[in-house]
Amino acid sequence: MKKKLSITDIARQLEISITTVSFILNGKAEEKRISKDVTEKVLNLVAELNYKPNQLAQSLRTGKTHIIGLIVEDIAGSFFANVARLIEENAYKNGYRIIYCSTENKTNKAKELINMFRDRHVDGYIINPSEGIEDDIASLLQEGLPVVLFDRYLPKLPTNYVVIDNYSGTFNAANHLLQQGFSNIAFLTIDSEQTQMEERYNGYERAMKMHNKQKFVKQIGYYDERESVVQQIIDFIKENPAVDAIIFATNYLSIYGLEALKQLKLNIPNDIGVVSFDDHEFFKLYSPTITAIAQPVEEISRQVIKILINNLTFSGNKWMEQTVVLPSDLIVRESSIKKF
């Protein structure tokens, strides 16, 4: 095996000190008054030999790894996969690489991942927070480590975050269904106290109250298996025959819901209207096409990286907390257009 070229080899070959080579490779030749002739010799040899500095040694010297830790609920989910891809793309443009992991919404796993990233000395953290990790994130902040939350935030913990206006998303969707002539609108969500889920419910509740309409709400366990979720939706619809439209709080619940409606042989939208929170490629291909509350994935990713990079390059004692709330977009398709 060919021995990896080291900074010592370069210094020995040019008969100069290791320190001189190090200063040149770190862009400090002019500051340290190293001659242009010596600088050119080093840079030419480095290019000729394709020398790559040891990243661990660099990080120990500079205190920077140029790595960002990204923690999401489920990297396989369409929303998180798209956000992660765009965050990685934007981070790379700014000279950073991303390491990402999924928590599966498990508190202990989220804590372990935060500790793992701390051990890896990542420069910053982008976190889609699970419940019960407030103390862990507070600890990162107390150490002066840059943290940006997204998709949801922690009300009791002041920190940077990027979220969407979940409340208006479901409020507007419910109003749209009512305007289309649907009267008894149900809201199917997951059993969670996370901010984004609570706000989606609050938007639905406000619309129902404003129009003096009865609420029909079903909560599904986060860890329930697909077959169980489908059956729960079937049972809920059978128990509430007056329901003529459903807003699903997540796109995966929507997909399970479409399976349930198919088993019940209910026609969309003649028998029942459907709106999904969070769009999915599948919804444009399904027949009929599915109306969705779309999240601005590109803008979420751009804002997350912008805030984190600002924190990473901030030279003061304490950066200013930055919070961003982005609007959602109701994409009206066939599933919510009632045929009179």
Task: Look at residue 172 and tell me if it is in a domain.
Answer: yes
For residues 88 and 99, give the distance between their C-alpha atoms in angstroms, rounded to a whole number: 9
SS3 11: helix
Q: What is the CATH number of the domain that holds 132?
A: 3.40.50.2300
Judgement on whether residues 30 and 74 belong to the same structural domain of the protein: no
Identify which has the larger pLDDT, 45 or 245: 245
Residue 18 is part of which domain span? 7-53
Judgement on whether residues 185 and 235 belong to the same structural domain of the protein: yes
**Of 245, 198, 255, 249, nearest in space to 220 by CA:** 249
Judgement on whether residues 95 and 158 belong to the same structural domain of the protein: yes
Q: pTM for the full model?
A: 0.81
Between 50-54, 56-60, 268-272, 288-292, the lowest mean confidence (pLDDT) is in 56-60
pLDDT of amino acid 1: 44
In the block, residue with structure tokens 């990685």:
88
**pLDDT of 59 higher than 60:** no
Task: Look at residue 1 and tell me if it is in a domain.
Answer: no
Task: Look at residue 60 and tell me if it is in a domain.
Answer: no
**pLDDT of 281 higher than 60:** yes
Quote the mean pLDDT of the chain. Answer: 90
**pLDDT of 327 higher than 80:** yes
**pLDDT of 119 higher than 90:** no
In the block, residue with structure tokens 């599915």:
290
Q: For the chain, what percent of residues have pLDDT higher than 90? A: 70
Judgement on whether residues 253 and 144 belong to the same structural domain of the protein: no
Question: Are the beta carbons of 62 and 36 closer than 8 angstroms?
Answer: no
How many domains, in total, are found in the chain?
3
pLDDT of amino acid 338: 83
In 10 A of CB 230, how many CB atoms? 20
**pLDDT of 14 higher than 90:** no
Judgement on whether residues 285 and 179 belong to the same structural domain of the protein: yes
Judgement on whether residues 109 and 195 belong to the same structural domain of the protein: no
Task: Look at residue 227 and tell me if it is in a domain.
Answer: yes
Identify the helix (H) or strand (E) that includes residue 127. strand 124-127
Amino acid letter, residue 192: S
In 10 A of CB 323, how many CB atoms? 13
Judgement on whether residues 235 and 254 belong to the same structural domain of the protein: yes
Judgement on whether residues 256 and 243 belong to the same structural domain of the protein: yes
Q: For the chain, what percent of residues have pLDDT higher than 70? A: 92
Do the bridges between strand 329-331 and strand 291-294 make them parallel or antiparallel, or are there none, so unpaired? antiparallel
Task: Look at residue 182 and tell me if it is in a domain.
Answer: yes
**pLDDT of 277 higher than 90:** yes
